[in-house]
Structure 1
Amino acid sequence: MKSKILNLLQMNSNGYLSGEQISGVLGISRTAVWKHINSLKNEGYIIDSVNNKGYKLLSDTSEVNNSSLKSLCNGYEFIQFAKFLDTVDSTNSEAKRIAMDELHLEGIVVADEQTNGKGRLGRQWTSDKNSGLWMSLLIRPKLKPDAASAITLVAAAGMTKALEDCTKLKIGIKWPNDLIINGKKVCGILTEMSAEINQLHYIILGIGVNLNQVNFTESLSDKATSLKKEGAEVSSKQLLGAFLASFSEFYKQFLKGDMSQVIAFHQAHSVTIGKHVQIISPIETREAYVLDINADGSLLVKNDLGENEIVFSGEVSVRGINGYI
């Protein structure tokens, strides 16, 4: 209900809405309206209250919280629930718990802090309080499991566009799931899936973006960066809103079976194409030269035997020969 009141105030930001008007639209008492307004004020919204005139939103909050998250997600068909948490073990784990309990719901989980954030291949993702955008999308596209892995590229394209729209920085994509600024990682994407041989149950897209970190551990200092370190100040709310808009457009095309825009976007932003790389699998590490990204999102490489080979994202990790990219 609080998010509905916020939406009404945002839609009428040029004037005042009386408590009577709000209660009439939403079917709640004026006392309930007053309580929700005070709760919004406690979340950081600046709302003017004037006797005989009502309420007017003077300033929106710049951060993601429970109310702003629901407001941001309003209207997206792939978001039926929006959950904000101050602290969680990991947003992917929380999304997975919801997926098991609510067998048909799609939605989003956002947290201010993760105590056990996840990266690919079992790596830990550092996600301190007030330092980034930590989120997971739970989606249930009607696809065969073998067609679903390309969703990582859809998310990477969506976040890259959002970052460029919000910062004007040049963002690179290290195939398939890392976003790069000046040779260092600013965002990672972890895709997890539940499926049977011919049936996809759900996909969880975990996305972490470093916004405000200044100091990184010694093991990460030569690999990781943040928007703040790169001279850009962006709020989590601004970035999330931009991501949902761009992801939605790419996702619509993906559901239609059209990956052409996503692939073209990756080709234009790739820091992997034209590079000698290490292809790291659980059983071996070998070198190859990256030729292109195929229409299905797989990587086309020339291996050390001089033969063309296709590499799929779920199988390997790709690293530069002399550095991270």
Structure 2
Amino acid sequence: MSGQELSEVLSISRSAVWKHMNELKKSGYEVEAVTNRGYRIINVPEALSEDAIRWGLETKWLGSTLHYHPTVTSTQNLAHEFARDGAEHGTVVIASEQTKGKGRMKRYWDSKANVGLWFSTVLRPHSLEPKNATQITLVAAVALANVMKEYGIPVSIKWPNDLFIGDKKMAGILTEMQAEQDQIDYIIIGIGLNVNHEEADFGSAVLEHATSLKVYTQDHYNLNTLFKSIAHEFEVQYERFIEHGFKPIKSDWEGYAYKMGEWLTVRAQGEWNAKLIGIHEDGALKVVDEKGQEHLLYSAEILWS
């Protein structure tokens, strides 16, 4: 596309076009410039950047406000700061690296630079009651599983917030809420996804329990492209949830459920065996004991193997 045409379409000078092209190059774009013909983008960057994320992001509201940082302590903590300052619904905080990434129960989440997706989203579902906020975790899990299915990766969802390939964890979801007794102010949903990790990136202790898309497929993934796929699918599933309720999400979640129909060991008021049969409408795990009695589990310790 010629520099003159670009300047006319954008209502900027030819000199400004040239400056913008140089900025794109700094962001990792490969731009070919041919005299008397114009500019052509040959390759887009694989490393995360705000420009690369925005270009081709097919969402209506998720990511309209986007904060990209090369390094943060935690996208979750930063998203809370933005939310308290009035950040709009759908605001995304994404980083190439987290130095103090966290999962459920304040567990450390290893978030090495440039190998995974680490991001948090501000949601303001004012029509949702606080008691049902945990359903958002399950919505996100279904969205993430759907994207992995499109990539040909067989994943399962381990209740309440992990995605597995086989018996190894490849993604985690952390949902945190600020609410009054009957009104949600905001929800922060954080996703950590192991993408281009090599086995050596995990270390011997972690490798036994963790995996990545690259370890499983031996393929390399463009982080910008993968994020855009996840953002679009999450927006679709979130709107479906808000419009139609939890029932269709529940059905999809159970189709991906890890160890569905298998016997587990539950530690709650003693230790006992239970068979996983699904999830309840409020997000609790639904099991039956050896006597056939049904139980709903909200925070019990479960031994999955």
Q: Which residue in the other structure is 1:242 paired with?
A: 229
1:255 maps to a residue whose letter is I
Q: Which residue in the other structure is 1:11 paired with?
A: none
1:302 aligns with 2:288: yes
Decide which of 12, 30, 34 is 1:46's aligned counterpart: 30
Q: Which whole-Å CA distance do the structure 2 matches of 1:106 and 1:317 have between them?
A: 33
- Cα deviation code 1:57-83 (max 9, x no counterpart): 222223321101222445422333111
Offset of residue 107 of structure 1 = 1.2
Q: Is the alpha carbon distance of 1:178 and 1:319 closer, same or farther for their aligned partners in structure 2, counting shifts above 3 Å?
A: farther
1:65 aligns with 2:49: yes
Within 5 Å, give how 1:260-275 maps onto structure 2.
260-275=247-262
Paired residues of 1:250 and 1:261 also in contact (CA < 8 A): no
Decide which of 153, 156, 160 is 1:169's aligned counterpart: 153
Q: Which whole-Å CA distance do the structure 2 matches of 1:274 and 1:42 have between them?
A: 52
Q: Mark the runs of 5 or more structure 2 residues left unpaired by the alignment.
A: none
Q: Is the alpha carbon distance of 1:53 and 1:295 closer, same or farther for their aligned partners in structure 2, counting shifts above 3 Å?
A: same
1:267 maps to a residue whose letter is E
Offset of residue 232 of structure 1 = 4.0
Q: Is the alpha carbon distance of 1:284 and 1:202 closer, same or farther for their aligned partners in structure 2, counting shifts above 3 Å?
A: farther
Q: Which whole-Å CA distance do the structure 2 matches of 1:262 and 1:95 have between them?
A: 25
Within 5 Å, give how 1:142-161 maps onto structure 2.
142=126, 143-161=128-146
Q: Mark the runs of 5 or more structure 1 residues left unpaired by the alignment.
A: 1-15
2:187 is paired with a residue whose SS is: strand
The CA RMSD measured in Å over matched residues stands at 2.3
Q: Which whole-Å CA distance do the structure 2 matches of 1:316 and 1:192 have between them?
A: 19
Q: Is the alpha carbon distance of 1:85 and 1:285 closer, same or farther for their aligned partners in structure 2, counting shifts above 3 Å?
A: farther
Structure 1 length-normalised TM? 0.84
1:182 maps to a residue whose letter is G
1:123 aligns with 2:107: yes
Provide the identity percentage: 34
Q: Which residue in the other structure is 1:212 paired with?
A: 196
- Cα deviation code 1:172-226 (max 9, x no counterpart): 1111211111210000111111111111011111111111222223432221111
Paired residues of 2:122 and 2:189 also in contact (CA < 8 A): yes
2:206 is paired with a residue whose SS is: coil
2:67 maps to a residue whose letter is K
Structure 2 length-normalised TM? 0.90
Q: Which whole-Å CA distance do the structure 2 matches of 1:102 and 1:131 have between them?
A: 31
Within 5 Å, give how 1:134-149 maps onto structure 2.
134-142=118-126, 143-149=128-134
Offset of residue 125 of structure 1 = 0.3
Q: Which whole-Å CA distance do the structure 1 matches of 2:172 and 2:187 have between them?
A: 16
2:225 maps to a residue whose letter is Q
1:290 aligns with 2:276: yes
Paired residues of 1:191 and 1:206 also in contact (CA < 8 A): yes
Q: Which residue in the other structure is 1:37 paired with?
A: 21
Q: Which whole-Å CA distance do the structure 2 matches of 1:287 and 1:97 have between them?
A: 43
Offset of residue 171 of structure 1 = 0.8
Within 5 Å, give how 1:185-200 maps onto structure 2.
185-200=169-184
Offset of residue 22 of structure 1 = 2.9
Q: Is the alpha carbon distance of 1:53 and 1:287 closer, same or farther for their aligned partners in structure 2, counting shifts above 3 Å?
A: same
Paired residues of 2:286 and 2:294 also in contact (CA < 8 A): yes
Offset of residue 240 of structure 1 = 1.0
Q: Is the alpha carbon distance of 1:232 and 1:157 closer, same or farther for their aligned partners in structure 2, counting shifts above 3 Å?
A: farther
Paired residues of 1:119 and 1:190 also in contact (CA < 8 A): yes
Q: Which whole-Å CA distance do the structure 1 matches of 2:273 and 2:210 have between them?
A: 23
Q: Which residue in the other structure is 1:86 paired with?
A: 70
Q: Which whole-Å CA distance do the structure 1 matches of 2:158 and 2:286 have between them?
A: 14
Offset of residue 296 of structure 1 = 4.0
Q: Which residue in the other structure is 1:258 paired with?
A: 245
Q: Which has the higher contact order (CA 8 A, sep 6+)?
A: 2
Offset of residue 316 of structure 1 = 4.4
1:84 is paired with a residue whose SS is: strand
Q: Is the alpha carbon distance of 1:318 and 1:83 closer, same or farther for their aligned partners in structure 2, counting shifts above 3 Å?
A: farther
- Cα deviation code 1:278-303 (max 9, x no counterpart): 4467x977653222223443321124
1:161 maps to a residue whose letter is N
1:165 maps to a residue whose letter is E
